[in-house]
Amino acid sequence: MSKTALLFAGQGAQAVGMGRDLAATFPTARALFDQANATLGYDLATVCFDGPEVELTRTENAQPAIYLVGWVAFKLLQEQVPDLAFHATAGLSLGEFTALAAAGSLTFEDGLRVVRLRGRFMQEACDITRGGMAAVIGLDEEVTREVCKLTGVTLANLNCPGQIVISGDLDRIPQAIEMAKARGAKRAIPLAVAGAYHSPLMAGAQPKLAAELDRLCFAPPCVPVLANVTGQPHGGPAEIPRLLVEQVTGSVRWEASIRHLLADGFTRFIELGPGGALAGFMKRIDKTAQVLNVSDVPTLAATVAALRG
């Protein structure tokens, strides 16, 4: 039997206009955007549809916006393909919350509210630190780890072969970039981000997020949900909040998560939410896997046709 995993986008996937055509075309999507506005008490839908970009890219808006569009894509796919079966979920960074919601571990509304707060707490941590990030292309993990150790920065994202993101003090990132190039990286480029995500500089956000997660009721997920920090499925509900808190400063082990699913017999992956970064990572991890995407009306139609075919 073919096994299908749902993948949910993370921060950086946001783009002004995301979700607009879905809301204009499908009443279910419009209702979910309205529900999100009511839940949060402000017009997140308009920020998604019309920006401005500076407003959408604010961490406290970008995170719930990406969560919301991923959820809309998920519900529309279920509406269009009622017999859709999926056997695991995973999400990049904040996408892990969407993955947990899709697996029934927390409600849509609880996930939306806590992701909004997570974004706010992370922005507050950015504001009191001087952090940055850089993408390192074409250097293997062990050499990149050595660069991080020598320059005092952190491995933030292990996305796919040949693509690693490093994070840390803003003054140390240029040194790490130059050392990575000297060790053979094809490219090493600073990223336009507000701070050093997935590094110890985000530690100030952890106790605040932990307090919010303690207020939520997590149910056992109906399918395995991959945890970013371990690259393995979550355990019981008691473990989920701890791993979500750890994720704020821990490395995102995305390639390990995907390789776990591949080893477990997964052959179809459906990326849900804005952008197509996860599909791109997938092609570099395993070119033989079927990768589908739902981010707008045309990609929804194409994915529905592929699933029905």
Encode pLDDT of 38-74 as tens digits: 999 999 999 999 999 999 999 999 999 999 999 999 9
Distances (CA, A) of 14 to 69, 88, 94, 104, 295: 9, 24, 12, 24, 11
Give pLDDT, residue 194. Answer: 86
Q: How many CB atoms lie within 10 A of CB 71?
A: 24
Query: Which tokens belong to 79?
Result: 């509406």
Residue 105 bears catalytic tag: no
Give pLDDT, residue 281. Answer: 96
Residue 93 bears catalytic tag: yes
Amino acid identity at 275: G
Give pLDDT, residue 239. Answer: 95
Categorise residue 132: left if φ over 0, alpha if ψ from -120 to 50, beta otherwise.
beta
Q: What is the pTM of this model?
A: 0.97
Please say whether the beta carbons of 8 and 102 come within 8 A: yes
User: Hey, what domains does the chain have and what are their CATH numbers?
Assistant: 3-127+200-308 (3.40.366.10), 131-190 (3.30.70.250)
Run of H or E residues at 210: helix 206-214
Which one of the listed residues 198, 234, 251, 257 is annotated catalytic?
Answer: 198
- Can you tell me which residue has the tokens 């695991």? 88
Task: State CA 5 to chain mean position distance.
Answer: 15
Which regions of 99-162 does DSSP assign to beta strands (E)? 131-137, 154-160
Give pLDDT, residue 112. Answer: 98
Query: Which tokens belong to 8?
Result: 């949910």
| Rounded Cα gap, residues 30 and 10, in angstroms | 22
Run of H or E residues at 238: none
Give pLDDT, residue 98. Answer: 98
Give pLDDT, residue 260. Answer: 98
Q: Supply the DSSP symbol for 219.
A: P
Query: Which tokens belong to 302?
Result: 């194409």
Residues of the chain with pLDDT under 70: 1
